Amino acid sequence: MPKLPRLTAVEAEKFLLQAGFKLVRSKGSHRIYMKENKRFVLPFHSGKILHPKIVKQLFEIVGEGKENLI
């Protein structure tokens, strides 16, 4: 299995918005995005790399291959 890319919160947010997700609200350092009945909570800490489990969840909910990211 290929390795997941290392993403920052800004890059993940850009990917979510391109996939049609909308920013619904934010609470503290977490931003909540929705698309139809799918919800994704993105911990938004500037300049920090997201944990691989969060990156994996991002690709699962978006449903696209990571080749389309950048």
Cα–Cα distance for residue pair 2/56, rounded to 1 Å: 12
How far is the first Cα of the chain from the last one, in angstroms, to the nearest whole number?
Answer: 20
Q: For 1-49, what is each residue's pLDDT tens digit?
A: 578 899 999 999 999 999 999 999 999 999 999 999 999 999 999 889 9
Q: Which of 54, 67, 64, 66 is nearest to 20 (CA)?
A: 64
Identity of the amino acid at 57: Q
Q: Which residue has the tokens 């790399």?
A: 49
Q: Do 34 and 22 form a contact (C-beta atoms < 8 A)? A: yes
Tokens of 41: 């909570």
Instruction: State the pTM of this model.
Output: 0.81
